[in-house]
């Protein structure tokens, strides 16, 4: 099961109370203050783990509590610190305060950590307050409360290439043919309900990761169909393959399909239409010879001519038969080699674990 959005409540442990105590031993007539400090509370820490690829654990565990610190004791015994709670999340997880549109942290790489809720400091025992003029202090501090808050976790896939297009455009068939991904394939719309990642090996020196994004329809940027839920996975890709089917059963003309998806990408946050892309005509095998295939050939020629006029790179394939697929993979390789690696994003607050 793929889950890319979760709401969690994080509660750090409170600090232990400082101890109010005086030394009492036989044959020691004047025992001084010996109350120890309380231990610090444990923190809730999010850790990016390369073995995870979904937020599905948080469908069942939403309340995350770290241990509180132990209270101080007599004989100058300090309380034990509460144990930190380490919570594993997949790389590419962004953390938001509930109700905020800006992330407070981004765990992009395995091993990065973010203190989601910081534990409270332990209180001081009365031994801390002894001075030469105040030798029997009767003061001890309570421990501080741990931080508590609701957070929203959002996973954004890490892929070099994103496949976009209308439902049933052939995205799942293509990714299953060129990569190690095995998504569900069927002849009805919205077969893909969750994104899939596939690893494409071109040769020993070059490979890339491709993401199959569930089908878009008009109004997706405003929530229609699967809406913005999966459009955000396109944000971090370097190159888009816009798949447009040529099948005669398709209701809309290929140029109209191209216009609609362009419109949705432009309306998405960050104007995704500005990303480098290749227009890919799919289901080339459905264009028959003779008069019956004339409409399909007309559609193909019109789409190719439009791409040439607007300086858009174009390819035509049949993922079913394999026609043109190898050429497309090498075209993608060439484009990725030309596109400079993404500039290092401004770091969001990522902190090392405490305690």
Query: To 5 degrees, how large is the angle CA 54–CA 55–CA 61?
Result: 145
36 pLDDT above the threshold of 50: yes
Residue pair 47/116 in contact (Cβ under 8 Å)? The answer is: no
d(C-alpha 251, C-alpha 321), whole Å: 23
Please, what is the Cα angle at 340 between 334 and 342, to 5 degrees? 125
Q: What is the pLDDT of residue 236?
A: 73
Question: How much of the chain exceeds pLDDT 90, in percent?
Answer: 40
More confident residue, 124 or 154: 124
Please say if the pLDDT value at position 213 is more than 80.
no
Strand (E) positions, 90-218? 93-97, 103-107, 113-117, 148-155, 161-165, 196-203, 206-212
Above 80 in pLDDT, residue 225? no
What is the spatial distance between Cα 39 and Cα 65, in angstroms, rounded to a whole number? Answer: 17
Could you give the residue range(s) of every CATH 3.40.50.300 domain in the chain? 161-338
- Could you tell me which residues come within 8 angstroms of residue 274 by beta carbon, excluding any fewer than 6 positions away? none
In which region does residue 132 sit, left (phi positive, over 0), alpha (psi from -120 to 50) or beta (all else)?
alpha
Winning range, highest mean pLDDT, from 35-39, 162-166, 290-294: 35-39
Assess if CATH 3.40.50.1220 describes domain 161-338. no
Burial 97-117 (b: 16+ CB within 10 A, else e): eeeeeebebbbbeeebbbbbb
Angle (CA) 148-111-92 rounded to 5° is: 75
Q: Is the pLDDT of residue 281 over 50?
A: yes
45-97 pLDDT per residue, tens: 999 988 887 788 888 889 999 999 999 999 899 999 999 999 999 888 899 99
pLDDT for residue 190:
42
Closest CA to 115 of 10, 40, 6: 10
Q: Is 194 helix (H, G, I), strand (E, B) or coil?
A: coil
Measure the CA–CA gap between 315 and 305, rounded to whole angstroms. 12
pLDDT at 189 > cutoff 70: no
Judge whether 254 and 287 are in contact, CB under 8 Å: no
Q: In angstroms, rounded to a whole number, what is the distance separating the alpha carbons of residues 6 and 58?
A: 6
Contacts of 232 by beta carbon, 8 Å cutoff, 6+ apart: 154, 156, 268, 269
When mean pLDDT is compared across 145-154, 288-297, 341-350, the lowest value belongs to 341-350
Assess whether pLDDT exceeds 90 at residue 222.
no
Residue 355's pLDDT is 41
Q: 53 or 232: which carries more pLDDT confidence?
A: 53
Question: Lowest-confidence range among 48-52, 124-128, 216-220, 223-227?
Answer: 223-227
Q: Mean pLDDT, to the nearest integer, of 172-194?
A: 64
- pLDDT for 344 beyond 70: no
Residue 30, by phi and psi: left (phi above 0), alpha (psi -120 to 50) or beta?
A: beta
The CATH number of 1-155, from 3.40.50.720, 1.10.10.10, 1.10.260.40, 2.70.210.12, is: 2.70.210.12
Query: What was the pLDDT predicted at 235?
Result: 74
Whether the CB-CB separation of 160 and 238 falls below 8 Å is answered with yes
Residue 240 predicted with pLDDT over 80: yes
Lowest mean pLDDT among 129-143, 155-169, 327-341: 155-169
Q: Could you tell me if 299 and 246 are in contact, meaning their C-beta atoms sit under 8 angstroms apart?
A: yes
DSSP-derived pairing of the beta strands 196-203 and 206-212: antiparallel
pLDDT for 353 beyond 60: no
d(CA 257, CA 252): 6
Which residues sit opposite 113 in a β-bridge?
Answer: 47
**CA–CA separation, 249 vs 211, rounded Å?**
26
Backbone CA torsion sign across 262, 192, 342, 349 = positive
Torsion over CA: 104, 107, 113, 119 (sign): positive
In the chain, residues under CATH classification 2.70.210.12 are 1-155
Whether the per-residue pLDDT at 181 is higher than 70: the answer is no
Give the integer Cα–Cα distance in Å for 280 and 294. 20
């Amino acid at each position: 099961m793929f889950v890319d959005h979760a709401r969690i409540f994080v509660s750090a442990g409170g600090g232990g109370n400082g101890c109010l105590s005086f030394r009492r031993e036989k044959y020691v007539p004047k025992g001084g203050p010996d109350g120890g400090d309380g231990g610090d509370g444990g923190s809730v820490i999010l850790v990016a783990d390369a073995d995870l690829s979904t937020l599905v654990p948080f469908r069942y565990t939403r309340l995350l509590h770290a241990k509180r610190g132990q209270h101080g004791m007599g004989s100058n015994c300090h309380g034990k610190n509460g144990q930190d709670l380490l919570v594993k999340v997949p790389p590419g997880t962004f953390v938001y305060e509930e109700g905020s549109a800006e992330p407070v942290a981004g765990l992009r790489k395995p091993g990065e950590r973010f203190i989601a809720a910081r534990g409270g400091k332990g209180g001081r025992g009365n031994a801390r307050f002894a001075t030469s003029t105040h030798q029997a202090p009767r003061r001890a501090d309570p421990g501080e409360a741990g931080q508590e808050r609701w957070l929203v976790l959002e996973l954004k896939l890490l892929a070099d290439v994103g496949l976009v297009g209308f439902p049933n455009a052939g995205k799942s068939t293509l990714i299953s043919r060129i990569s190690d991904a095995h998504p569900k394939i069927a002849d009805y719309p919205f077969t893909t309900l969750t994104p899939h990642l596939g690893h494409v090996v071109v040769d020993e020196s070059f490979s890339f990761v491709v993401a199959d994004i569930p089908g878009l329809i008009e109004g997706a940027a405003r929530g229609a169909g699967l809406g913005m839920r999966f459009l955000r996975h396109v944000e971090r890709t370097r190159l888009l393959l816009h798949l447009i089917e040529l099948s005669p059963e398709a209701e809309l003309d290929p140029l109209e399909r191209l216009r609609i998806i362009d419109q949705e990408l432009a309306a998405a946050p960050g104007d995704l239409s500005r990303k480098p892309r290749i227009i890919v005509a799919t289901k080339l095998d459905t264009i028959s010879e003779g008069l019956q295939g004339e409409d399909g050939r007309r559609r193909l020629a019109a789409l190719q001519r439009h791409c040439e006029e607007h300086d858009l790179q174009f390819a035509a394939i049949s993922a079913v038969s394999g026609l043109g697929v190898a050429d497309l993979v090498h075209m993608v390789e060439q484009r990725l080699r030309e596109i400079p690696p993404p500039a290092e994003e401004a770091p969001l607050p990522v902190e090392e674990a405490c305690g």
